[in-house]
Amino acid sequence: MAIRIAIPKEVSPGERRVAATPDTVKKLIKMGFDVSVETSAGTLANYPDEVFKAAGASIAPDTDSLWESADVLCKINPPQLRSDGSHEADSLRDGSTLISLIFPGQNAELVERLQQGSKTAIALDKIPRITRAQKMDVLSSMANIAGYRAVLEAAHLYGGFFSGQITAAGKTRPAQVLVIGAGVAGLAAIGTARSLGAEVRAFDVRPATKEQVESMGARFLMLDVPMDESGESSGGYANIMSDEFLQAELACFAEQARDVDIIITTALIPGRPAPELILQEMVESMKPGSVIVDLAAEQGGNCTATVPGEVVTSSGVHIVGYTDLTSRLPTHASQFFGTNIVNLLSDMGGAEDFTVNFEDEVLLKSTIVRDGELTWPPPPDPEKPATATPAKPVVAEAPAPRKKSGTGHGASSEPLAVGPRNMIALTLAIVLALIGFTAESAPVPHFVQQVTVFLLACFIGWQVVWSVTPALHTPLMSVTNAISGIIVVGGLLGVAGSELNTAAVLGAVAILIASINIAGGFLVTQRMLQMFRKEGN
């Protein structure tokens, strides 16, 4: 009998998302699952029952029948009280598995309810932030949407243009936007604000984010404080910083508040109250009509004037404290959330080999209850053994290593290894030696000199291209291929004259190949430039 996955309608007030879409339902069915969706579960996300039926899902007419038939129940929000007073966690039958956000650190009562019977619960909010688990990380996918929506909310309330305008009636400067926190949500906000034409500056306690911020066209704010402490935790989140650093941080924000039009705050450490970064006096110093969007409102807010779930006005400044920003883009939010669940179920073996395997780090750290037994918090990661400082080697006991010839980049004291480059160099040496022995019978004057220059040119050109970082190959080569015009000039000199010989044939071939290279280089460059041009320009 196939494992049945149930998708209930969310009961949280104002929630528009659903844990599956027609696209993810098709993928689940292809993996061997039966899928049942509660009637009208996806209506608010623009997924009516008809599209779920067309994708192969069955429609459960009521909540009770859906929960009773579920082997695996996938939902978005943690189980909670329904309007009739019953609790969703109590409806989960023994032996079934719950996959949803749980936030066990803030929901101790819910965790106790999940331990009743032989239930299993997997918290999507506890998926570890490791490379392999990125495809299942719902916090990141939802934060991306929240950052995008935060800019749209700010644009709606802001009484001016985001991009600078020059008209017959005058000109306006671009909106000045400050983004505090350069995580997933912050980077999404930066990208959206930049695409609307705003000038963006950003701050983060993690210096490693500086390159990411600047690569998106924003200015990274640096503090005049020595960074003796790491701003990043092992899980990829920001650390709590020292008092000295926090004072310098607040002074920076106070200065920026007087200049910017919009502030978007995203600073939040999971399981802790949001740090207060925008104080009331900073709000009062902002220009009337400015906007603050507080993405940490659900945990108290980064702004002291934030009211969770509401938009308030203080000293003429609009402060947005919405806690449902992802739900305000329900169609794509549901698609992302559903895809994260599909990826998790795929790693759990699909319908054929479905299991909660604690040898998998992702499941070990995200499973809260397994068969009624509490498994959270997971065991700590084994500490890495302290690496002792190696003693200085005694010269008399160490064999003297052979050195590679040359003093250029890459010279080493290791013995010469027979690698691809060394083999090529050896082959070139042998070829040149053979040419030298047969120079007297060469049909072309100065043949040895010409061949030597040709081989050296090939070798040096190959070394130059080899040393370029692979990530730069496409943009670099699309432009520098135009330099192949030099080859065309050389080819023209080779075919000059009426005599048909080997040099003339090689020159013609060089002209043909270089011309193709030039045309292709300009074509690739043109396509790359098109990617950065706005529609209508």
- In degrees and rounded to multiples of 5, residue 268 shows phi and psi of -160, 130
Q: Residue 71 in contact with residue 5, Cβ under 8 Å? A: yes
- Catalytic, out of 125, 137, 261, 324: 137
> Which SS3 state, helix, strand or coil, does residue 472 take?
helix
Q: Residue 292 in contact with residue 283, Cβ under 8 Å? A: yes
Secondary structure percentages of the chain, helix, strand, coil, to 5: 45, 15, 45
Give dist(CA 45, CA 66) in Å, integer. Answer: 20
Q: Residue 9 in contact with residue 78, Cβ under 8 Å? A: no
Structure tokens at 248: 């310098």
- Catalytic, out of 23, 49, 129, 421: 129
- Catalytic, out of 140, 141, 334, 484: 140
- In degrees and rounded to multiples of 5, residue 312 shows phi and psi of -120, 160
Strand-pair partners of 202? 179, 220
Give dist(CA 35, CA 25) in Å, integer. Answer: 7
Q: Residue 263 in contact with residue 285, Cβ under 8 Å? A: no
Structure tokens at 305: 């004037």
> Is 237 considered catalytic here?
yes
Query: Which H or E run contains 350?
Result: none
Closest by CA to 239, choosing from 268, 208, 203, 263, is: 268
> Would you tell me how many other CB atoms lie within 10 Å of the CB of residue 54?
11
> Is 261 considered catalytic here?
no
DSSP state of 290: -
- Look up tokens 């040119």; give the residue: 457
DSSP state of 239: P
Burial class (CB in 10 A: 0-12, 13-18, 19+), 162: buried
**Any residues with CB less than 8 A from the CB of 77 and at least 6 apart, and which?**
10, 11, 12, 15, 100, 101
Give dist(CA 101, CA 82) in Å, integer. Answer: 17
- Catalytic, out of 134, 215, 234, 412: 134
Give dist(CA 430, CA 200) in Å, integer. Answer: 59
Whole-angstrom Cα Rg for the chain: 32
> Is 129 considered catalytic here?
yes
> Would you tell me how many other CB atoms lie within 10 Å of the CB of residue 529?
10
Q: Kindly give the residue spans of alpha helices, DSSP state H, lying in 158-290.
A: 184-195, 210-215, 243-257, 280-285
Query: Which H or E run contains 292?
Result: strand 291-294
- Catalytic, out of 23, 49, 69, 237: 237
Which residues does the annotation mark as catalytic?
129, 134, 137, 140, 237
